[in-house]
Homo-oligomer: A and B are copies of this chain.
Amino acid sequence: MTLNKATKTDTHTPDLFIGIDGGGSSCRAKLLSSDGAITGCGFSGRANPVHGVAKTIESIIDCSQKAIKDAGLEQSAIRNITAGIGLAGVNLPSLYEKINHWQHPFKRMFLTTDLHIACLGAHAKQDGSVIIAGTGSCGISIVGSKIFSYGAHGFPWGDQCSGAWLGLQAISVSLLAYDDLGPQTSLCDRVCDALDTNPREIADKMSNQPSKEFAKLARLVFEEAKNGDAVAISVLEDGVGYLNKMARKIMATSPGRLSLIGGLRSELRPWLASDVQDYLVDPIESPEDGAIYFAKSKAGQKTSVVQIQT
């Protein structure tokens, strides 16, 4: 449905919003008109400014243009769109400033973290909490006007039990096994196969690679743990121990709801402690929906959401 079609049937032009969720591996956009008549979706590459502000902006533009096209609008409509953007990495003040001062093409742009929009979406802007486990990992709880956040410190020093962290551990234990300085593990062959290399050349393949390349190896840890490899199980138990601690800290803030989201949610869930699994609920809406709530709130619409301090 095009903007022209929409305006022909309405007495006034509906406001246009786009919600964008950017992380270490991909960027998603959802376009929505205030009357709900116009919708569109877009998908593009990685958008974590830690690994490049220029690439992040390119991905935001790319998925926006795809959503505009998907909605049947002219690309020039971007000038009429109010954008809510949640990005990994903008909890770092310097990166928040860089993206926030970008000469963007939107009518208005409001920036926050991927964690914030994920939580707003998962609980339809009501109180609640989320743990994201995708390329990175982090958690947030929003209770009344209080916000509690955990992790989101980045890779490789943080993001325990994220895809990137699991991939890094897979490489590390493989190299220890190769040198016979750690227990033998089926991960060593699996990692070499996945990287099409041998242990001596793993570093050659992985040097200066972004976190998403490490995250691609995470599935091997789950697969080999299921196959009974003791080292893979140990890696997962270490990582999940971190997520259990985070979940219990979040549960202690009484958020009412806790959703596990991100690319690893299905594979991780059965590894979590039973008290944590019992507390989990499915998210109501997507992070992109949360980004639209955020944009509407910041644009002065009736929708009001807790503002996160960045």
- What is the CA–CA distance of A200 and B249 in the complex, to the nearest angstrom? 18
Q: Give A147 Cβ to nearest chain B Cβ, in Å.
A: 13
Question: Which residues in B have their C-beta under 8 angstroms from that of A175?
Answer: 153, 157-158
A interface secondary structure, majority: helix
Task: Assess whether B181 is in contact with A245, with CB atoms less than 8 Å apart.
Answer: yes
Question: Which residues in B have their C-beta under 8 angstroms from that of A200?
Answer: 91-93
Task: Assess whether A94 is in contact with B206, with CB atoms less than 8 Å apart.
Answer: no
A61 in the interface, Cβ–Cβ < 8 Å? no
Q: Give A9 Cβ to nearest chain B Cβ, in Å.
A: 49
- What is the CA–CA distance of A150 and B154 in the complex, to the nearest angstrom? 29
Task: Assess whether B150 is in contact with A179, with CB atoms less than 8 Å apart.
Answer: yes
Out of B50, B157, B168, name the residue touching A202 (CB < 8 Å): B157
Q: Name which residue of chain B comes closest to A49, CB basis.
A: B207
Question: Which residues in B have their C-beta under 8 angstroms from that of A168?
Answer: 156-157
Task: Assess whether A150 is in contact with B181, with CB atoms less than 8 Å apart.
Answer: yes
A255 in the interface, Cβ–Cβ < 8 Å? no
A275 in the interface, Cβ–Cβ < 8 Å? no
Q: Give A215 Cβ to nearest chain B Cβ, in Å.
A: 14
Task: Assess whether A203 is in contact with B172, with CB atoms less than 8 Å apart.
Answer: no
Question: Which residues in B have their C-beta under 8 angstroms from that of A206?
Answer: 157
Q: Name which residue of chain B comes closest to A199, CB basis.
A: B153
Out of B92, B179, B207, B242, name the residue touching A50 (CB < 8 Å): B207
Task: Assess whether B92 is in contact with A158, with CB atoms less than 8 Å apart.
Answer: no
- What is the CA–CA distance of A92 and B200 in the complex, to the nearest angstrom? 7
Question: Which residues in B have their C-beta under 8 angstroms from that of A95?
Answer: 204
Report A120-153 CB contacts with B as 1/0, cut-off 8 Å: 0000000000000000000000000000001101
Q: Name which residue of chain B comes closest to A202, CB basis.
A: B153
Task: Assess whether B246 is in contact with A181, with CB atoms less than 8 Å apart.
Answer: yes
A278 in the interface, Cβ–Cβ < 8 Å? no
- What is the CA–CA distance of A187 and B154 in the complex, to the nearest angstrom? 19
Task: Assess whether A158 is in contact with B172, with CB atoms less than 8 Å apart.
Answer: yes
Within residues 150 to 196 of chain A, which ones have a CB less than 8 A from any CB in chain B?
150-151, 153-154, 156-158, 168, 171-172, 175, 179-181
Point out residues on A near B: beta carbons under 8 Å: 50, 91-95, 150-151, 153-154, 156-158, 168, 171-172, 175, 179-181, 199-204, 206-208, 242, 245-246, 249
Q: A156-B156, A157-B202 are in contact. List 7 more A-B contacts (CB 8 A).
A: A92-B201, A153-B175, A153-B199, A154-B207, A157-B203, A180-B249, A181-B245
